[in-house]
Chains A and B, each alone.
Chain A
Amino acid sequence: MPRVKVGRKSTAIDMTAMCDVAFLLLTFFILSAKPKTQDPVQAAVPASTSNFAIPENDFSTITVGQGKAFFNVQGADVRVQTLKQMGLKYKIAFTPDEEKVFANTESFGVPINVLKQFLNLPNEQKSNYKQPGIPVDTTANNELSDWVHEARVADKYLHNADLHIAIKGDSKEEYPTIHKIISTLQKQKVNKFSLITNLKTVTK
């Protein structure tokens, strides 16, 4: 009896459709991508049901964690302008190179007198550098207050818009630290600001 021979078929699969899908997804992810920003301190934000999106521009974040405060303002132009004004105020001259580095620095937490030194660190050392946080004292030495103020002035000057300020606090942070930040803002008559939270659904 003759054996039934199985005809040999081509092993090639038509990949056109798969390729289409893959590139479609790729395009979507590239367009929606916003690289993760590394915060110098881990802040596990609390959850709430409020559902307001964070604005992209004219926005500033104060990250609070482990009793330290870190400052960030959105937009490279505002950042450079803020640094220039802070330089004038504290009589520190920043070079154009340092300004460029600062424009690319997301969140930072160093006192102004070591900021120059911090900006000149090479990149790999910068991420390992233990940032002590921006001094927030209710009495004399409140650099955070100056940063916020200068950033607000810079934003008004460049974009003619009011800077929106948000606090990104760690949920385990003790209240006195948060209170210090809030009273710093209140001293400048910033009575409306945001708290950054994760979205959670209401349990009914």
Chain B
Amino acid sequence: MAELDTSGGGKKGGGKVRSKKQSTRVDLTAMVDLAFLLITFFILTTTLQKPKAMDLVMPDKDEKTKQQLPVKQSTTMTILLGSNNQLEWFVGIAGATPPTKEGYGKNGIRATLFEQAKKIKATTGEDMMVIIKPSDKSNYNNMVSVMDELNITGNIRRAIVDITPADIGLLKRDGIY
């Protein structure tokens, strides 16, 4: 088909009759076509980037006993997640220290987490406890971002807790609820 017969014509007349040598080459064009077609199909149907999982451990919630362990206020940082991808944080109990409004990401909450963890470690000698309170106006991405920042900064002591009306009041006052 796509190959020219390049073998010689053979001698004319006389001698033994020899069978003509056949070329051993097979035309692979069609086969290659098919192979590439299948490759294309499989490339398009596979999911190359597999999603990953982030483990989340929630504090044990007992409906009956309402058991709650108190945490030291001097080592506790509370993060309130508000609307419009904004958050507020404060150390200690609500109201005692004015909350700081901040954004997510590298220059926002991550820097604060590093800074506060160092400060609390220096003053009390203990690891910082982070309490996350997502409000109804925050979205799922906000929660994952904060958990991710805590993973990056290496804060193992953290918990997601329900928001209280007092916290909502703070968010409302700062206009991110």
Chain A interface residues (CB < 8 Å from chain B): 8, 10-12, 15-16, 18-19, 22-23, 25-26, 29-30, 32-36, 45-46, 48-54, 64, 166, 168-179, 182-183, 186-187, 189, 191-199, 202-204
Q: Which residue of B lies closest to A48 (CB)?
A: B148
- How far, in whole Å, are A84 and B145 apart by their CA atoms in the complex? 39
Please state if B152 and A202 are interface contacts (CB–CB under 8 Å).
yes
Contacts of B145 in A (CB 8 A): 46, 48
Contacts of A194 in B (CB 8 A): 53-56
Kindly list 9 other residue pairs between chains A and B, CB separation below 8 angstroms, not including A192-B55, A199-B52. Answer: A15-B29, A22-B35, A22-B39, A46-B140, A52-B54, A54-B51, A172-B141, A175-B81, A177-B140
Distance between A60 CB and nearest chain B CB, rounded to angstroms: 12
B50 within 8 A of A: yes
Q: Which residue of A lies closest to B51 (CB)?
A: A196
B136 within 8 A of A: yes
Please state if A19 and B135 are interface contacts (CB–CB under 8 Å).
no
Q: Which residue of B lies closest to A9 (CB)?
A: B4
Distance between A184 CB and nearest chain B CB, rounded to angstroms: 12
Known: A19-B31, A22-B35, A186-B58. A171 touches B140 (CB 8 A): yes
Contacts of A50 in B (CB 8 A): 52-55, 148, 151
Residues of chain B at interface, number, CB under 8 A: 52
Contacts of A204 in B (CB 8 A): 106
Please state if B51 and A36 are interface contacts (CB–CB under 8 Å).
no
Known: A19-B31, A19-B35, A195-B54. A203 touches B140 (CB 8 A): no
- How far, in whole Å, are A30 and B45 apart by their CA atoms in the complex? 10
Distance between A139 CB and nearest chain B CB, rounded to angstroms: 13
B123 within 8 A of A: no
Contacts of A203 in B (CB 8 A): 106
Please state if A171 and B141 are interface contacts (CB–CB under 8 Å).
yes
Contacts of A16 in B (CB 8 A): 28
- How far, in whole Å, are A182 and B134 apart by their CA atoms in the complex? 13
Contacts of B31 in A (CB 8 A): 15, 19
Interface of chain B, main secondary structure: mixed
Of B2, B47, B139, the residue contacting A173 (CB under 8 A) is: B139
Q: Which residue of A lies closest to B138 (CB)?
A: A175
B59-67, B90-98, B113-121, B167-175: which lies at the interface: B59-67
Of A52, A64, A177, A182, the residue contacting B53 (CB under 8 A) is: A52
Contacts of B38 in A (CB 8 A): 26
Top 10 closest A-B pairs, CB basis?
Answer: A29-B42, A171-B141, A22-B35, A15-B28, A194-B53, A50-B54, A48-B148, A12-B3, A173-B140, A46-B144
Please state if B52 and A53 are interface contacts (CB–CB under 8 Å).
yes
Please state if A172 and B140 are interface contacts (CB–CB under 8 Å).
yes
Contacts of A45 in B (CB 8 A): 51
- How far, in whole Å, are A203 and B110 apart by their CA atoms in the complex? 11
- How far, in whole Å, are A64 and B140 apart by their CA atoms in the complex? 10
Of B2, B27, B39, B55, the residue contacting A26 (CB under 8 A) is: B39
- How far, in whole Å, are A129 and B114 apart by their CA atoms in the complex? 49
- How far, in whole Å, are A171 and B29 apart by their CA atoms in the complex? 48
Distance between A70 CB and nearest chain B CB, rounded to angstroms: 15
Please state if B49 and A199 are interface contacts (CB–CB under 8 Å).
yes
- How far, in whole Å, are A16 and B32 apart by their CA atoms in the complex? 9
Contacts of B63 in A (CB 8 A): 187
